[in-house]
A and B are shown apart, each in its own frame.
Chain A
Amino acid sequence: MPDIFISAPEPKAEKKEEIARPQTPLPEFIPTQGSFLSAYLYKPRNVEFETRGSDEKIILFLRQHLVVNSKWIIVAILMVFAPIILRYFPILSFLPGNFRFVAVLGWYLITMAFVLENFISWFYNIYIVTNERIIDINFYDLVYKEVTDANIEKIQDITYRMGGVVKSVFGYGDVFIQTAAEISDFEFPSVPNPEHVAKILQELAMSKKEGS
């Protein structure tokens, strides 16, 4: 007599396969080489930082959009031409000639410092996303250096904001990252393609969490 009740084989192996889902691939963005002034680089090859681990790969290299520099550039241009304009308004006429000459040189010295300070502050305020962590490198007033980082798996929430005419036209915005790390909030202000940045971060965080 044939067996009526035959228990079905336990689908343990299948369950295991279900749990071990393939890692979500990162969106297919094209790696960018860019110039030294680039504000958005995906998988850059020419960027290195001092605390980089041996198997750590840079996914994103970001800094504020080039457009944010327009204000200080305009001020710097005005500062360059100010002594020429002042010829028509001789407010320094009470000074002897040699003092006037040194005053103009001093003015150009201040202009140069203004340009250097603003350029370096922009150039070295960098946000890096690697396959392991997010890093925020800040230099304040040419004197203070601050490097903060958080592991990718500690990311809890990512939001981005784009608004206003200038930001919409030039395609940049702010990315906010909440983490469970010691420094809970990361802000990438005025970075190009914030929607790409948020998506890449989400995908990275998901793949890290699934992988662990």
Chain B
Amino acid sequence: MIPILGISVWLVVKIFAILAFLIYLLFALVIVRQVRLMTETIQVGFETPLKFLSYVHLTFAGVVLLLALIIL
């Protein structure tokens, strides 16, 4: 532990990492919304797997955020 002004460096890193993962979660939500918009615009027979992929990505982002909160 390297204290700077009485605060652990790793605590600062943890806060930044969680903030970054939170922003990423928002980005994953945007992807889900965009995929829905795209699948409404045009249908080519691959809508369900693509929506599923976007939800997998969103779940993964949520899991990583949770892990960062727990582990770090």
Query: Number of residues in B with C-beta < 8 Å to the partner?
Result: 32
Is B37 an interface residue when CB atoms closer than 8 A count as contact?
yes
B-contacting 9-mer, from A71-79, A104-112, A197-205: A104-112
Contact indicator A47/B43 (Cβ below 8 Å)? yes
Q: In whole angstroms, what is the CA distance A65 to B36 when docked?
A: 24
Q: How far is the CB of B3 from chain A (nearest CB, A)?
A: 15
Contact indicator A145/B41 (Cβ below 8 Å)? yes
Contact indicator B57/A116 (Cβ below 8 Å)? yes
Contact indicator A124/B72 (Cβ below 8 Å)? no
Contact indicator A102/B57 (Cβ below 8 Å)? no
Contact with B along A53-66 (1 / 0, CB 8 A): 00000000100000
Contact indicator B64/A47 (Cβ below 8 Å)? no
Given A36-B44, A36-B45, A124-B42, A142 and B71 contact (CB-CB distance below 8 Å)? no
Contact indicator B72/A106 (Cβ below 8 Å)? no
Q: How far is the CB of B47 from chain A (nearest CB, A)?
A: 9
Among the listed A99, A124, A142, which residue makes an inter-chain contact with B30, where contact means beta carbons less than 8 Å apart?
A142
Q: In whole angstroms, what is the CA distance A105 to B70 when docked?
A: 14
Is A170 an interface residue when CB atoms closer than 8 A count as contact?
no
Main SS at interface, chain A: mixed
Q: How many A-B residue pairs have CB under 8 A?
A: 80
Q: How far is the CB of A203 from chain B (nearest CB, A)?
A: 25
Is A48 an interface residue when CB atoms closer than 8 A count as contact?
yes
Contact indicator B27/A137 (Cβ below 8 Å)? no
Is A1 an interface residue when CB atoms closer than 8 A count as contact?
no
Is A49 an interface residue when CB atoms closer than 8 A count as contact?
yes
Query: Number of residues in A with C-beta < 8 Å to the partner?
Result: 29
Q: In whole angstroms, what is the CA distance A137 to B38 when docked?
A: 10
Cβ–Cβ < 8 Å partners of A49 in chain B:
41-43
Cβ–Cβ < 8 Å partners of B43 in chain A:
47-49
Cβ–Cβ < 8 Å partners of A113 in chain B:
24, 27-28, 31, 57
Is A7 an interface residue when CB atoms closer than 8 A count as contact?
no
Is B13 an interface residue when CB atoms closer than 8 A count as contact?
yes
Is A139 an interface residue when CB atoms closer than 8 A count as contact?
yes
Interface pairs (23), CB distance under 8 Å: A36-B44, A36-B45, A36-B46, A46-B44, A48-B43, A99-B13, A99-B72, A101-B71, A102-B17, A102-B67, A102-B72, A105-B67, A106-B20, A106-B24, A109-B24, A112-B57, A113-B24, A113-B31, A120-B34, A120-B50, A137-B42, A145-B38, A145-B41
Q: Closest 6 interchain pairs by CB?
A: A36-B46, A48-B43, A49-B42, A98-B71, A124-B38, A105-B64
Other than the given A36-B46, A99-B17, A126-B42, 13 more pairs (CB < 8 A) read: A47-B44, A48-B43, A50-B41, A96-B10, A102-B72, A106-B24, A106-B64, A109-B64, A113-B28, A116-B54, A116-B57, A124-B41, A142-B31
